[in-house]
Amino acid sequence: MIPVIVHADAALVVADKPAGLPTVPGRPAELHDCLWERVRAEYADALVVHRLDMATSGLVLFARGIDAQRRLGDAFAQRRVHKRYIAVADGLLAADAGEIDLPLAADWPNRPRQVVDPVRGKPSQTRWQVLARDTAQRRTRVQLEPLTGRSHQLRVHLAALGHPLLGDALYAPPDVAAAAPRLLLHASEIGFAHPADGTPMHFRRPAPF
């Protein structure tokens, strides 16, 4: 699992995280190796701005220095960072596109799971679009655009729609979880304004599945 540095300049680093590698150190000693540590081996001033689930692959943005971290963090908070994901879902989605609007909350007895909770949940929206349908295997390749950034949002929303992601050990039934060797979810695109001068930045990495 070797991350690819997609872009680096004086203010930021964009890396392509492989599936199975944590973004930041985990509590067990075996999870201390992470994308952040590997990026810092080359860019010592790299700081965390956002994260991907360990099982998810794709583009992760790091800031270089506190000022860039603050500016990029503000951009995420104000929803000025645009991300798209590629995923493979179980079943054949009937419509070609849509939007999921379901509030999410932590499932405290079963952490780190999240649940749809209309009472305690925080507003969560995901826009989706069908890219291809495999009628023989009854699965759908979709593009996902999170309009909010809740933990496990894409995985919970697709499962709530009745189409859990292949390889998802947390939210898919056993047969769907076993249908792929990894979670089929990849952060394929990220777009934002450069923290130094506002130049539009956009990066894309194809899904490895």
Active site (annotated) includes residue 53? yes
**Residue 77, φ and ψ in degrees, nearest 5:** -60, -35
Q: What is the CA radius of gyration of the chain?
A: 17
Q: In this structure, which amino acid lies at residue 171?
A: Y
Distance CA 143, CA 186 (A): 10
Q: Which of 16, 53, 90, 168 is catalytic?
A: 53
Give Cα separations from 187 to 27, 61, 190 (angstroms): 24, 11, 8
What is the length of the chain? 209
- Number of helices (H) and strands (E), helices first, in the chain? 4, 12
Q: In this structure, which amino acid lies at residue 88?
A: V
| Bond preceding residue 112 cis, omega within 30 of 0 | yes
Distance CA 208, CA 15 (A): 15
Catalytic residues: 53
